[in-house]
């Protein structure tokens, strides 16, 4: 099997800030695999929070090159990835698995969602995110995406939660909040109380990733559903957080691929947890892979392509507040006009 990869730069239209990061630019690694007849593409969008960056992705691909090249078709590649397992290098493993799924779909003429017996017409409500900024600018950003049924507002320790009320009033949309580990339990209790009065639908990761007891306290005391993101990267983490939160955020780049994300969604549902499919700063290549399994989820925060100055791929899109999957086999993704 032929195996190649390249680094691309993704540039947001505006610097995207959360309580943990500020992104003026980001790098993804695009993977291509081919058996000479069929080909597939994937994307790794690594996060230092989960122990990866561009260099670690490239190093793993270099080590795996002989393994990938020995594979005769995509099923062998997926078997190799499954056998290696583990929590390390999730974005790199996700990229290879996405490419293998794309190749498989092209071989059999099926979109990826059908491989998991999912209905492409049953995608969930779309979420659009508003990054941290001056409150007036945050309201301005929210008005740009007021068509979305759900708007996620990023907060930190210093931003007044009152901006959430302003956004809710200005847009008429339902609102969620993501604190990205910013608060201690005491201040989280106060802020969530205010957010409850404002009428937010849920709060993501109010406390540090390792503070599961804090999540439990806030879930018990609050009338607002609390979701775990950074506290629940993989399937193995679900039992640890299951009694402490109302739901989890699933991301291909933190769990290691589409198959693991599907397993997480089904395990979460079996435990009575809500599910949100999310993303890092990714192009529409990786976003579309996630969108194909979004019918398993209650909501979908797959908006990073919308935030980019130029998205190098065309795939999933938004229509009347919902995700629409592209036509075509595999991912159904194609390069944007003018992209390499």
The vertex-114 CA angle with 113 and 116, nearest 5°, equals 75
Q: What is the pLDDT of residues 186-207, one digit of tens each?
A: 999 999 999 999 999 999 999 9
Kindly state whether residue 257 falls inside one of the protein's structural domains: yes
Q: Could you give the angle at the alpha carbon of 276 between the alpha carbons of 273 and 280, nearest 5°?
A: 140
Domain end call among 109, 141, 165: 109
Q: Are residues 38 and 124 in the same domain?
A: no
In a domain, 340, yes or no: no
Q: Which of 48, 50, 54 is nearest to 31 (CA)?
A: 54
Q: How many domains does the chain have?
A: 2
Q: How far apart are CA 52 and CA 41, in angstroms?
A: 20
For 314-326, what is the mean pLDDT? 95
Burial label for 87, CB within 10 Å (0-12, 13-18, 19+), is middle
Beta strands in 162-280, from DSSP E residues, in sequence order: 174-178, 203-204, 226-228, 247-250, 274-277
Is the predicted pLDDT of residue 81 greater than 90, yes or no?
Answer: no
178 with 255, same domain: the answer is yes
User: Which domain-ending residue is among 47, 81, 109?
Assistant: 109
Say whether both 198 and 327 belong to one domain.
yes
In a domain, 263, yes or no: yes
Residue 28 domain-assigned?
yes
Bridge partners, 299 (sequence order)? 125, 276
- Taking only the tens place, the pLDDT of each residue in 219-246 is 999 999 999 999 999 999 999 999 999 9
Could you give the CA distance from residue 249 to residue 229 in angstroms, rounded to a whole number? 5
Q: pLDDT-derived band of residue 338, with 50, 70 and 90 as boundaries?
A: low
25 domain residue, yes or no: yes
One domain, residues 231 and 319:
yes
- 189 and 97 belong to one structural domain: no
DSSP class of 12: B
Residue 282: domain span: 115-335
Residue found by looking up tokens 């230092």 in the block = 48
Q: What is the mean pLDDT of residues 153-158?
A: 96
Nearest to 248 by CA among 321, 239, 256: 239
- As a whole-number percent, the residues of the chain with pLDDT over 90 amount to 90
Residue 158, in any domain of the structure: yes
Q: Are residues 270 and 191 in the same domain?
A: yes
Task: Determine the straight-line distance between the first and last CA of the chain, rounded to whole angstroms.
Answer: 22
Q: 326 and 196: one domain?
A: yes
Out of 19-28, 40-49, 204-213, 309-318, which region has the weakest mean confidence (pLDDT)?
A: 19-28
Quote the CA–CA distance of 101 and 115 in Å, as a whole number.
9
CATH of the domain at 312: 3.20.20.120
**Are residues 81 and 154 both part of a single domain?**
no
Q: Is the pLDDT of residue 312 over 90?
A: yes
Please tell me the predicted confidence (pLDDT) of residue 22.
Answer: 79
Structure tokens at 197: 């009065």
pLDDT at 214 over 90: yes
Say whether both 91 and 184 belong to one domain.
no
Please check the confidence at residue 130 and state whether its pLDDT lies above 60: yes
Cβ–Cβ contacts within 10 Å for residue 121, how many?
Answer: 10
pLDDT mean over 39-68: 96
Q: Is the pLDDT of residue 340 over 60?
A: no
**Summary mean pLDDT of the chain:** 95
Q: Positive or negative, the Cα torsion across 305, 37, 118, 44?
A: negative
Query: Does 148 lie in the same domain as 290?
Result: yes
Considering 89, 109, 129, which residue would you say is the last residue of a domain?
Answer: 109
Is residue 219 in some structural domain? yes
Residue 300 has a pLDDT of 97
Long-range CB pairs of 335-338, under 8 A, 24+ apart, other chains included: 336/310, 336/311, 336/312
pLDDT > 70 in the chain, percent: 98
- Same domain for 26 and 164, yes or no, is no
* CATH number for the domain harbouring residue 79: 3.30.390.10
Question: Are the CB atoms for 78 and 105 separated by under 8 Å?
Answer: no
97 assigned to some structural domain: yes
Same domain, 43 and 14: yes
Q: Is 269 helix (H, G, I), strand (E, B) or coil?
A: helix
Is the pLDDT at 23 greater than 70? The verdict is yes
Tens of pLDDT, residues 84-111:
666 789 999 999 999 999 999 999 999 9
């Amino acid at each position: 099997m032929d195996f190649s990869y390249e680094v691309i730069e993704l540039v947001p239209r505006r610097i995207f800030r959360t309580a943990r990061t500020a992104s003026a630019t980001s790098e993804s690694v695009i993977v291509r695999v081919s058996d000479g007849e069929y080909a597939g593409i994937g994307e790794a969008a690594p996060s230092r929070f989960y122990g990866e960056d561009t260099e670690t992705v490239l190093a793993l691909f270099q080590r795996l090159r002989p393994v990938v090249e020995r594979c005769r078709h995509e099923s062998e590649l997926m078997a190799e990835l499954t056998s290696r397992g583990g929590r390390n290098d999730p974005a790199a493993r996700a990229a290879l698995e996405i490419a293998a799924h794309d190749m498989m779909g092209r071989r059999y003429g099926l979109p990826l969602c059908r491989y998991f017996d999912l209905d492409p017409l049953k995608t969930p409500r779309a979420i659009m995110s508003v990054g941290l900024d001056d409150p007036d600018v945050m309201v301005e950003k929210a008005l740009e995406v007021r068509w979305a049924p759900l708007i996620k507002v990023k907060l930190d320790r210093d931003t007044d939660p009152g901006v959430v009320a302003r956004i809710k009033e200005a847009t008429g949309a339902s609102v969620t909040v993501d604190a990205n580990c910013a608060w201690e339990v005491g201040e989280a209790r106060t802020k969530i109380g205010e957010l409850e009065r404002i009428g937010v639908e849920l709060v993501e990761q109010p406390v540090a990733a390792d503070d599961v007891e804090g999540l439990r306290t806030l879930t018990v005391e609050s009338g607002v559903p609390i979701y775990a993101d950074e506290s629940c990267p993989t399937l193995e983490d679900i039992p640890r957080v299951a009694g402490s939160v109302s739901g989890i955020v699933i991301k291909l780049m933190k769990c290691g691929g589409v198959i693991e994300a599907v397993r997480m969604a089904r395990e979460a549902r079996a435990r009575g947890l809500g599910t949100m499919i999310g993303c890092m700063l990714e192009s529409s290549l990786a976003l579309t892979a996630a969108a194909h399994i979004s019918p398993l989820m209650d909501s979908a925060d797959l908006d990073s392509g919308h935030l980019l100055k130029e998205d190098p791929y065309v795939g999933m899109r938004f229509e009347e507040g919902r995700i629409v999957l592209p036509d075509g086999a595999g991912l159904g993704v194609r390069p944007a006009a003018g992209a390499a």
